[in-house]
Amino acid sequence: MKKLRIRSRIVVVALTVGLLLIGGAISYAQETETITITVRARAKPPMENWRGDNFLLAAEELNADLKTAGDPRRVEIELIQDNMEWGPFLSEFVLGYGAGEAPDIWLTGHEYIGAQAEAGRIIALSEMLKEFPTFNLIIDGLWNSTSYKGKIWGIPQDAEARPLYFNKALLKKLGWSNTEIAALPGKIEKGEFTLYDMLETAKEAAATGVVEIGNGFWTRPKNGPDFTAFYYAFGGETIDSFTGKLVFDRAAGLKYYKFFYDAAQTYGSMGCLGLDWSGAWHPGVSGSKVLFWIGGTWQWAEWAEKFLKEQGGESYMWENFGFGLIPAAEKGGKPNTLTHPMAFLISSQSKYPDLALALIAKVTNYGPNTRHAIASTHLGILKDQTEYKFYKGSRLLSETLYMLDYTTFMPNNPYWGPYSTITYEALAATVGGDFTPQEAVDFVVDGLQRELGDKVIIR
């Protein structure tokens, strides 16, 4: 009897607690509304994971802000982050949008802004930005990369420089002294060491057997933004600031193609086009088989983490690799580099763009951005970030930040894709010896006019 009474009491207590919990949950659900914000990011793991992971921390902060402000909404993040190739990554967004399932926040290359804005898949942010003063921290010049037709469509997420790397050990084999090697970045910056000086050195290295023929100077193995920096170096322009149309400059184009023709045919360089990235290109440059090469600052982390970890990672690299700007085309000219910022875009299908932007504001701050910058060796995007205690800890980031003063961008134009493809096809044919520089220019002019008509200005 006594046992029965105890059991009854336990049952009553359990029921009461259960009812209270259910009641509490219902009451909380009525008071708050949980909203899922989908973030789609492309990141090379583990170096670039902070691109998306920062949002998980940001959501906690935002929820605290919302609670304090008496806003019943709470956010939870659905993060989709992988290292998909750019083509499928773009298709996925377009297909997802067509199905009404575009992510709220899409982190992508800034050059897609033009096409996506024209298609109405992303929203202009110019007005909304005013509500979040954090965005004033972003380096002013970077906004150019996310502007299109006078409006801002994206928030820069990271930046990088694309330096000319050189192998110190190979330069020493060529007879360069430590002082000469240390002075090289400065000479490049002053325009004293030009692109053709680089080719001469590369030729000498190949002739003396320091590197194999073809390995004096390498670019990336496939089409990409780096080539545009060379076209700029020879005085080329890609966009007409007045009309917003794409531009191809014949005279600059001729010099650009002549440089690559000479590099391959006369100076024994450019044995890189068509190589597999991970199978041949990275092992080539990180394995000290190449004297000069164009790469990105982010690749520093990849080499340290993936390719040279056993040799000592960064310390080995500081000993053996150096970097400077992409040299000027002519003596006394201005060297350059190219930055291809990633940008947060907000889909026009997002039901809560204000919350999406609030989350982006949270990750656009010294702490989160520096975490990503250091882990991935991307450059910071915020004013005075070099003064931030933890940013200062990265030697590479500190030593390459000056390059942003010389940086250039690709244009935000919806027709950049075919423009880039045609100009690269001509370059590949020139390097392969199938086109003379003039034939390459003619091919580009014909191709651009055929594909883009009056959407491109030929000068």
Partner 1 sequence: MRLRQKPRAALAYLALIVPSALILVGFLWLFITSFSIRTEGLRSLGWTLSNWSFLWKSPFGPQYPSIWWVTLNTLVMSLIMTLIVVVVSSMTAYALSRMKFTGRKSFLSLTLILHAFPSVTLLIPIYFVLIWVSKIPVIGRGVPLLGGLGYNTIGGVALVMVAFQLPFGIWVMKGFFDNISWDMERSALIDGASRFRVWWEIMMPNIKPGIAALSIFSFITGWNAYLIPLTFTAGRAGKSAVLSLYLQNFISESVMTEWNAVAAVGLFQLIPVVIFFLFTQQMLLNIYGGGKKGGV
Contact footprint for partner 1 (CB under 8 A) = 40, 44-46, 49, 52-53, 56, 78-85, 88, 91-92, 95-96, 98-101, 103, 277-279, 282, 302, 306-307
Minimum gap (Å) between residue 86 Cβ and partner 1: 9
SS3 201: helix
Q: Identify any residues that bridge with 382 across adjacent strands, giving them in sequence order.
A: 138
CA distance 109 to 112: 6
323: Cα separation from own chain's centroid: 18
CA distance 333 to 132: 40
The candidate with the shortest Cα–Cα distance to 52, out of 43, 61, 44, 63, is 43
| Rg, Å, the chain Cα set | 26
The candidate with the shortest Cα–Cα distance to 121, out of 141, 139, 85, 96, is 96
Minimum gap (Å) between residue 344 Cβ and partner 1: 17
Task: Look up residue 243 and give its two tokens.
Answer: 């009309």
Task: Look up residue 110 and give its two tokens.
Answer: 């800034």
The candidate with the shortest Cα–Cα distance to 146, out of 381, 370, 356, 420, is 381
Q: Which is nearer to partner 1, 92 or 439 (CB)?
A: 92
- What is the number of other CB atoms lying within 10 angstroms of the CB of residue 352? 16
Minimum gap (Å) between residue 114 Cβ and partner 1: 23
Minimum gap (Å) between residue 80 Cβ and partner 1: 4
Minimum gap (Å) between residue 84 Cβ and partner 1: 6
Minimum gap (Å) between residue 379 Cβ and partner 1: 18
Q: Identify any residues that bridge with 186 across adjacent strands, giving them in sequence order.
A: none
Q: Which is nearer to partner 1, 158 or 189 (CB)?
A: 158
How far from each other are the two terminal CA atoms of the chain, in whole angstroms? 102
Q: Which is nearer to partner 1, 309 or 392 (CB)?
A: 309
Q: Which is nearer to partner 1, 51 or 168 (CB)?
A: 51
For 286, half-sphere exposure in the C-beta direction (CA atoms, 13 angstrom radius) is 25
Q: Which is nearer to partner 1, 201 or 286 (CB)?
A: 286
Minimum gap (Å) between residue 109 Cβ and partner 1: 14
